[in-house]
Amino acid sequence: MTLYEEASFIVEKLSLEEKCKFCCGIDFWESFSKDELGIPSIMMCDGPHGLRKEIKENFCFVSSKVEKSTCFPTSTAWASSFDEDLIYRVGKALGEECRKENVAVILSPGINIKRVPICGRNFEYLSEDPYLSGKISAALIKGIQSKGVAACLKHFAANNQENNRYTVNAIIDERTLREIYLKGFEIAIKEANPWSIMMAYNRLNGEYCCQNNYLINDVLRKDWNYNGCIISDWGGVNDIVESINNGLNLEMPGYNDDYYKNIEKAVKNNKIKEEILDESVKKVIELILKYKEGKKIPYRCNIQEHINLAQEVAENSAVLLKNTDNILPGNTNQNIAVIGKLAKEPVIQALGSSKVNPNTMDNSYDAFLDNNCKISYADGYSLEDEEIDECLLKEAIKISKNKDIVYLFVGNPKYTEAEGYDRKNINLPKLHEKLIYEIGKINKNLVVILQSGSVVKMDWSDVPKAILLTHLSGARGGNATVNILLGKKNPSGKLNETYSNDLEDYPAMKFYPGDRNHLEYRESIYVGYRYFDTAKKEVKYPFGFGLSYTTFEYSNMKIKHNNDNTINVSITITNTGNMEGKEVVQLYISCLNSKLFRAKQELKRFKKINLLPGESKEVTFNLDEESFSYYNIYTHKFEIEEGQYSINIGSSSRDIKFSSIINKSGTCNKVPNYKEKSPSYYKLYEKEFNPGIEEYENIYGNKLPITTNAIHPFTVSSTINDIKHVYGGDLIISFINKKAYKFSGADRYMQITIKESLNDSPLRLMTMVTRGAISHKTITGLVNLLNKHYIKGLLEILRNTKRF
């Protein structure tokens, strides 16, 4: 009997009430149970880069009472490693920590595309490229699930910014959606079959993701044959009846009887068919059974090994962006200045639900000392205060004088990278920049170490001789950084996203942030290097770029057409320097004569290899038909356009070493051609890319919904902002605020997130934020009040609000 059949068998034995209870959490992190039938409650925890298990007495959004666990570098670093084997091992380690803590589901990985560099959560996502996101996340998922623990792939889909994330309506044409925003999910699902998936908060083309028929039924269930459990993002359900009817299986979290009773009432009133409910329950029970089954897999959890692995990830993901005169690696005999508080107090992760309680943490300052380096140190800046402190600056300059080498640590202040709100810009703090310029004037041997989970603007990049990007590098980032600086390890990370010169260079910024109802993805497929390379726009550092202490030579590219219609592409890589090192070989494909507008090239394969000095290896890639395909809006399938294709192999998107042209026959004659009505999409390099609305409507295939900030009538998804100007709105907001802070139980940092995002939050979310103190029914009461049904509203509030 399959687990699904077993689940179906169990569902038959449940009462309606029990079935409804299985479709929502019993608290913040746990599911309902039916022990008599052998179905325990399971626990779900964040993710993504470490296990974040809250201590039961303090369950909330997001508590400071969290069990200790290994803090891995954040996801952005995983992608920069370009190393599937390594990330598979991270997945295994996460799975082992879950097993040890009896956690059934880890809410990891998050793979939303980095559309704009200021998205607050980019540190938690993988890449601007869907192929890289898909492959790295598939490796992680396989690792987690090999230990009998469920991964939860999130956030499906188009949660590409934090501002307005709870309500924003992402308007995306079908092709862009399939090729860019869904592709990574598709790869991960087809390759690794995550046991669960999390639906995003936002709306997509008009419908909340948690009740989005297209996403759940057309894409997940029908097109991809996905058979796992579909879970809401925490507090992401707008209307539970619509959600269940459209295929959501589990609403998280849940607090009180309201949750299941809403479902029960709908079944009794025939608003949800019992067969549909049963299907949801089966999926939840099947997930629980998978975990029960998984527990039979033997495991051992050696935390020290995980900590070592965290270091290995940091060492293999740091990106050497610049190294003039081979100033790096440095050595222990040098007279060294170490400047910057981040050397002592690194930012190893960012704010929000991903923040773990690290079982250990190191720093670069100590790591230098452990390596017997002679160092002089100055803080350079304060981490609390962004004002320039002349005393700190002077001291830093004094210490940097006459040193053989200066290691200056810079990065984003603690609260900049966070869940719940976007960054305001991509600049480093002024005083970090000032230090770079000032120290650069008095010591040419300046090395900048950049701790950042997302793109920063680097107008200053000419000043230092070397720049090392270390991401948010987890528990052992300090040792990893110093090992690279001193040449014990050879850097091998490559950029998972383009570092442009300016924030405005990213085409999506023209349409960002939209408003709470309307966010156009008018730039279409032109995200990241797809835009920069096609537009031939100068960038600071291109996608896939990263230096090494050694050099690699590419030679002997060969193409072989196989009988099964696939193509083998081989290339030989030789380590021509004198240090062992790793190279990431990248394969891109360009369509040379397309009717459709296409990106100049797209990443289709990559491989990281290790080479000893003088050693050569041949790398072979197998290209299937899909590698050449685009999404056709007429057939609603990926198709191949007849024509010439260039297969490009290189060490970054801008450093192509070899190309070879092949012909392909087409799979569909009807290729959309937008040249006449949407010319801007074809001429990116001729003039500033700024497509008009009609041009995008032509691609979208319809008129865009009218931008309306209409707020009436109020609903449970109206935001706090919406009620600001309503008579009595102030009172309601102050009531909500008080409750939010009194009952949230969130940690000090999460309070900042709540505060920053409160105005954008829908009223219904207040139930989650206040841990049920403001109940569903109180919210309905508030909505009634706002809609001028005063008596009904007041009565509902008074009856249902506890703990005034």
CB of 45 to ligand BGC, least distance (A): 8
460, 433 contact by CB (below 8 A):
yes
DSSP string, 163-218: TTTTT-EEE--HHHIIIIITHHHHHHHHHH--SEEEE-SSEETTEEGGG-HIIIII
Looking at 233, 239, 379, 505, which residue is catalytic?
Answer: 233
775, 743 contact by CB (below 8 A):
no
CB of 138 to ligand BGC, least distance (A): 19
Output the CA–CA distances (angstroms, integers) from residue 329 to 250, 260, 323, in the order listed.
52, 60, 9
Nearer to ligand BGC, 204 or 406 (CB): 204
Q: Is residue 747 at the binding interface for ligand BGC, with CB under 6 A as the rule?
A: no
Interface pick for ligand BGC out of 212, 245, 353, 412 (rule CB under 6 A): 353
User: For 67-162, where are the E strands, in sequence order?
Assistant: 68-69, 105-107, 150-156
Cis peptide upstream of residue 116 (ω within 30 degrees of 0): no
Position of minimal CB gap to ligand BGC: 353
Nearer to ligand BGC, 196 or 483 (CB): 196
CB of 29 to ligand BGC, least distance (A): 8
Instruction: Provide CB contacts within 8 A for 188, sequence distance 6+.
Output: 109, 111, 133, 134, 137, 138, 141, 153, 194
Q: Is 646 exposed, middle or buried (0-12, 13-18, 19+ CB in 10 A)?
A: middle
Nearer to ligand BGC, 155 or 607 (CB): 155
Residues 140-169 that bind ligand BGC (CB under 6 A): 154-155
Which helix (H) or strand (E) covers residue 230, if one does? strand 229-232
Residue count of the chain, please give it. 804
199, 156 contact by CB (below 8 A):
yes
CB of 399 to ligand BGC, least distance (A): 42
Distance of alpha carbon 554 from alpha carbon 617, whole angstroms: 10
Q: Return the axis-axis angle of helices 84-101 and 130-145, rounded to nearest 10°.
A: 40
CB of 56 to ligand BGC, least distance (A): 15
The residue among 496, 400, 393 whose CA lies nearest residue 122 is 496
Residues 276-295 that bind ligand BGC (CB under 6 A): none
Per-residue mark of binding to ligand BGC, 203-242 (x: CB under 6 A): ------------------------------xx--------
User: For 55-104, where are the E strands, in sequence order?
Assistant: 68-69
Nearer to ligand BGC, 234 or 260 (CB): 234
Nearer to ligand BGC, 651 or 753 (CB): 753
Which tokens hold the place of 419? 């869940």
49, 75 contact by CB (below 8 A):
yes
From first CA to last CA, the distance across the chain in angstroms is 52
Nearer to ligand BGC, 353 or 586 (CB): 353
Nearer to ligand BGC, 11 or 141 (CB): 141
Tally of CB atoms within 10 A around 576: 14
Which residue is listed with tokens 């979290």?
Answer: 253
Is 297 in a helix, a strand, or coil?
coil
Q: Is residue 364 at the binding interface for ligand BGC, with CB under 6 A as the rule?
A: no
217, 225 contact by CB (below 8 A):
no
CB of 201 to ligand BGC, least distance (A): 7
Nearer to ligand BGC, 107 or 486 (CB): 107
Nearer to ligand BGC, 106 or 525 (CB): 106
Is 649 in a helix, a strand, or coil?
strand
Q: Based on the residue annotation, tell me whether 173 is a catalytic residue of this protein.
A: no
The residue among 737, 714, 715, 733 whose CA lies nearest residue 724 is 733
Distance of alpha carbon 778 from alpha carbon 796, whole angstroms: 6
CB of 353 to ligand BGC, least distance (A): 3
Which helix (H) or strand (E) covers residue 648, if one does? strand 643-652
Is 764 in a helix, a strand, or coil?
coil
CB of 286 to ligand BGC, least distance (A): 21
Q: Is residue 417 at the binding interface for ligand BGC, with CB under 6 A as the rule?
A: no
CB of 20 to ligand BGC, least distance (A): 22
Binding residue count for ligand BGC, defined by CB under 6 A: 8
Which tokens hold the place of 482? 């110093």
Output the CA–CA distances (angstroms, integers) from residue 417 to 121, 351, 412, 421, 790, in the order listed.
7, 7, 7, 8, 42
Residues 299-328 that bind ligand BGC (CB under 6 A): none
Instruction: Provide CB contacts within 8 A for 125, sequence distance 6+.
Output: 75, 76, 110, 111, 112, 113, 114, 119, 133
Q: Is residue 46 at the binding interface for ligand BGC, with CB under 6 A as the rule?
A: yes
Residues 627-666 that bind ligand BGC (CB under 6 A): none
550, 613 contact by CB (below 8 A):
yes
Which helix (H) or strand (E) covers residue 367, if one does? helix 364-370
Per-residue mark of binding to ligand BGC, 66-105 (x: CB under 6 A): ----------------------------------------
Output the CA–CA distances (angstroms, integers) from residue 218 to 215, 223, 438, 636, in the order listed.
6, 6, 57, 11
Nearer to ligand BGC, 453 or 478 (CB): 453
Nearer to ligand BGC, 142 or 154 (CB): 154
User: Which residue type does 621 have?
Assistant: F
CB of 233 to ligand BGC, least distance (A): 5
Nearer to ligand BGC, 233 or 251 (CB): 233
Q: Is residue 107 at the binding interface for ligand BGC, with CB under 6 A as the rule?
A: yes
Pairing of the two strands 150-156 and 196-199: parallel
Q: Which residues of the chain form contacts with ligand BGC (CB under 6 A)?
A: 46-47, 107, 154-155, 233-234, 353
Q: Known catalytic residues? A: 233
